[in-house]
Amino acid sequence: MWLFYVSCAWVAGIFLGAKVALPAAALLVGLVPFLLAFLCPRRRRMLATVGICFVVFALGLFRCSFSSGGESSLSFYNDTGRVIATGVVSEEPQTSGNASTLVLDVKQVTAGTCEEKVTGQVLVWVPRYPSYHYGDELRISGEIETPPVFEGFDYREHLACREIYSVVYYPGVELLGQNEGFTPLGGLYSLREKLSDSLSSALPEPQCSLAQGILLGDRTNIPDSITGTFSRAGTMHLLAISGLHIGIIAGIFLSLGIFIFGKQRSFYIWFALLAVWLYVVLAGMRPPVVRGAIMGSLFLLAEYLGRQRSAMTALGFTAAVMVAIHPRILWEVSFQLSFLAMAGIIYFFPHFRSPKGRRVVSTVGGGGRLAGVRDMVGDSFAMSLSAVIAVWPVIAYNFGVISLVGLPATFLSLLAVPCIIAAAALVAFSGLFLPLLSQVLGWAAWFFLSYLMLVSQCFDALPLSSLQVGSFSARLVWGYYVVLVVVVGYLELKGRKEWSLVNLRSQEER
């Protein structure tokens, strides 16, 4: 567990370093436990761990430097007037209405008569047509600005989490070249675009937009009325591919794998792992999705190795490495949801999965095949419940909505999610080769998508289905997680005592 404590110390240092500035002498505090270790030999190991945590915490304080750099940084030219910038489109363009946004990785800036090589990304707003693609080399001419801060939404911080510190609105654009990006990624984006077109040809709206969101992670075309319904019903996370979504997908296919293959061998784990990463590829290998998949894979590998208790250590270490590479990731909602969802599954799912827990989350009786169905449904519900327990305060804090029907709505919706993914994938891929077959399969996808919408609409229509909390206090969020940590500690202690009693009884029987 010492690695977990060190990882937590590093992340805590990063977090505090963004809030306060401490002198370099703070590093000396970490030496105190090492000195005490010589005075208390019996506590040497514990004090050494505490000392390492203090040192790592102090290093985290000084790692968290969010400076934007000098003249070699693109943000140096923010708000300095009209400039010419040359760069390559580094992400898949996003389209909404009559506008598109491009993330341009800028290599050179011309200000007046001076040309400078720079590094940095700029978010470029352009008309929807002509369309641009990943890997296009562009020369833009316009005013590079600092991202604004809106009332109730810090757009500047939102972009900073993606390492974007500059924006430019509707500049002059000149296409200099194509296919300048990473070729396999360009091919993946091209495939996603074709799959999206296949769904558009076979499905009506809004089912088509929902399918594009769930299968491909593209939510730009989902109507605001639909997103509002899903948000109030507590099922919005089913449309946003994040760690919570990956956790639910892993749980569904883990349970489905056990139902199909049984637990005699590890096929059910590899089945779930394969499903998760195929899903990530379809979603475009975007950073939030990949992070969620890495964390979900850690849980599945811990299940494979029979070391579920070690999954949290691996999860904490992975989060620490991610934060070390990109400190601002700590403030990304997708990262928070990914980490908390997987932590909730790691800690609570085994308790709900136990014989006592199964009586809580599953009420279907019977034996044989019926018992397998019961366990699959119960495990899926337990996985969802574990994730929801861990993430709902973050959702309330960031989106200002607490759904009072989210758990039953999620459970009923989950029955359709695997079918939607499978049917939408068949529709999308068959549309590339057999458009007529795609139209026929589209009816199955339409049925499951309509069911998903109906569930959310029915729960949204209930009185007091959700609470608009407005500005949700951060203190309440922290207080909730303090209580949750105490509960987790109690469950861990209780589990260890029960394990000790079992060992003691076995020894007495011998």
Digit-coded pLDDT (tens) for 52-96: 777 777 777 776 654 444 556 788 888 888 889 999 998 888 887
- The arithmetic mean of pLDDT across residues 158-181, rounded, is 86
Matching residue, tokens 């040809």: 201
Where does 58-212 show beta strands of DSSP type E? 82-89, 94-96, 99-111, 114-117, 121-127, 137-143, 164-169, 172-177
Evaluate if residue 365 carries a pLDDT over 50.
no
In angstroms, the CA 62 to CA 58 distance is: 7
| Highest mean pLDDT: which range of 114-118, 168-172, 374-378 | 168-172
Cα dihedral 120, 121, 126, 131, rounded to 10, equals: 110
pLDDT value of position 266: 77
Evaluate if residue 364 carries a pLDDT over 70.
no
Evaluate if residue 447 carries a pLDDT over 90.
yes
- The arithmetic mean of pLDDT across residues 440-464, rounded, is 90
Q: Domain locations in the chain? A: 2-63, 74-182, 214-497
Q: Hey, what are 105's tokens?
A: 């990785």
Comparison of pLDDT for 390 and 201, the residue scoring more: 201
- The arithmetic mean of pLDDT across residues 22-37, rounded, is 62
In angstroms, the CA 61 to CA 59 distance is: 5
Query: What whole-number percentage of the chain has pLDDT above 70?
Result: 76
pLDDT value of position 462: 84
User: What DSSP character marks residue 489?
Assistant: H
Query: What whole-number percentage of the chain has pLDDT above 90?
Result: 9
pTM: 0.69
Q: Work out the pLDDT band at 141, boundaries 50, 70, 90.
A: very high
- Do 263 and 215 meet the contact criterion of CB atoms below 8 Å apart? no
If you average pLDDT over every residue of the chain, what do you get? 77
Q: Hey, what are 318's tokens?
A: 């992975």
Comparison of pLDDT for 256 and 101, the residue scoring more: 101
pLDDT value of position 67: 45
Q: Work out the pLDDT band at 502, boundaries 50, 70, 90.
A: low
Q: Hey, what are 381's tokens?
A: 């519900």
Comparison of pLDDT for 155 and 107, the residue scoring more: 107
Lowest mean pLDDT among 269-283, 363-377, 440-454, 475-489: 363-377
Evaluate if residue 505 carries a pLDDT over 70.
no
Q: Hey, what are 265's tokens?
A: 């061998």
pLDDT, tens only, 386-419: 777 888 788 777 777 777 777 788 778 877 877 8
Q: How many CB atoms lie within 10 A of CB 329?
A: 22
Question: Would you call 151 exposed, middle or buried from its count of C-beta atoms within 10 A (0-12, 13-18, 19+)?
Answer: exposed
CA 435 to chain centre: 33
Smallest Cα–Cα separation from 465: which of 474, 473, 456?
456
pLDDT value of position 443: 93
Evaluate if residue 369 carries a pLDDT over 60.
no
Q: Work out the pLDDT band at 186, boundaries 50, 70, 90.
A: confident
Evaluate if residue 20 carries a pLDDT over 70.
no
Comparison of pLDDT for 68 and 154, the residue scoring more: 154
Comparison of pLDDT for 45 and 37, the residue scoring more: 45
Comparison of pLDDT for 147 and 258, the residue scoring more: 147
pLDDT value of position 378: 67
- The arithmetic mean of pLDDT across residues 342-348, rounded, is 78
pLDDT value of position 170: 92
Provide CATH code, domain 74-182: 2.40.50.140
86 phi/psi in degrees, rounded to 5: -120, 130
Smallest Cα–Cα separation from 327: which of 161, 442, 165, 171?
161
Instruction: Please report, for residues 102, 270, 314, 479, the alpha-carbon distance to residue 299 in angstroms, rounded to integers and kept in the order given.
Output: 35, 12, 9, 26
pLDDT, tens only, 240-285: 666 656 766 777 777 778 777 777 677 888 888 888 888 787 777 7
Can you tell me whether residue 145 is helix, strand or coil? strand
